[in-house]
């Protein structure tokens, strides 16, 4: 564990807690966190996770805009539910992205866990996009992904980050409960 990992983990807890509370400050705090984590993952050769953090940086900006400027009269999005076909499409895109990234990481890098890392990356992008759009389905997907991330980070010796993702799992459960109660009724 390094001071940098501790700093990133602290920012992560704050950002996810603010997300559960639907506070738009989760996005700029999350932006700093993902930039720090991109460096940490580079150092331990989790290249897909490093790339994921860079994409998260762009999604942090997108999420901040969605939560503060999109929606009715520019007041930001409200919590909503995706329809079944949209969920299936999102998960299919996550799977295809996972396979393509896993093949690339296996062929062109010395990545430590190319297939698992790529799968977590592909599906995390789907969950992050759904979160930026305030789709309630982001939370159950995050719960599954965070549990798997815990195992990966324990394997790589990133114990504080594993604990952070364990906490993320608990926060995702709370987020799922909170956001379900805030769902906007379907028209």
Residue spans per domain, the chain: 3-181
> pLDDT 10s digit of each residue in the chain, 187 long?
588 888 998 998 899 899 988 899 999 999 999 999 999 888 888 787 788 889 889 999 999 988 888 656 556 678 889 999 999 999 999 999 999 999 998 999 887 788 998 999 899 999 999 998 899 999 999 999 999 999 998 998 888 889 989 999 999 999 999 999 888 665 5
pTM for this one? 0.81
Determine which helix (DSSP H) or strand (DSSP E) holds 166, and give its type and residue range: helix 159-181
160: Cβ–Cβ under 8 A, 6 or more apart, which residues?
1, 5, 6, 9
Torsion sign (Cα): 108, 113, 117, 119:
positive
């Amino acid at each position: 564990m390094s001071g940098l990992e501790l700093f990133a983990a602290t920012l992560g807890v704050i950002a996810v807690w603010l997300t559960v509370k639907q506070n738009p400050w989760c996005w700029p705090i999350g932006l700093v966190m993902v930039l720090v984590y991109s460096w940490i993952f580079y150092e331990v050769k989790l290249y897909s996770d490093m790339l994921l953090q860079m994409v998260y940086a762009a999604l942090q900006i997108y999420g901040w805009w969605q939560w503060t400027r999109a929606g009715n009269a520019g007041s930001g999005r409200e919590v909503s539910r995706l329809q079944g076909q949209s969920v299936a499409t999102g998960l299919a895109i996550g799977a295809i992205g996972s396979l393509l990234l896993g093949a690339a990481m296996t062929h062109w890098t010395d990545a430590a866990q190319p297939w698992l890392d790529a799968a977590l990356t592909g599906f995390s992008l789907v969950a992050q996009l759904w979160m930026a759009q305030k789709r309630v389905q982001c939370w159950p997907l995050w719960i599954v992904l965070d549990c798997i991330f815990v195992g990966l980070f324990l394997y790589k010796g990133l114990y504080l980050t594993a604990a952070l993702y364990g906490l993320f799992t608990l926060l995702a459960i709370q987020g799922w409960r909170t956001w379900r109660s805030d769902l906007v009724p379907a028209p």
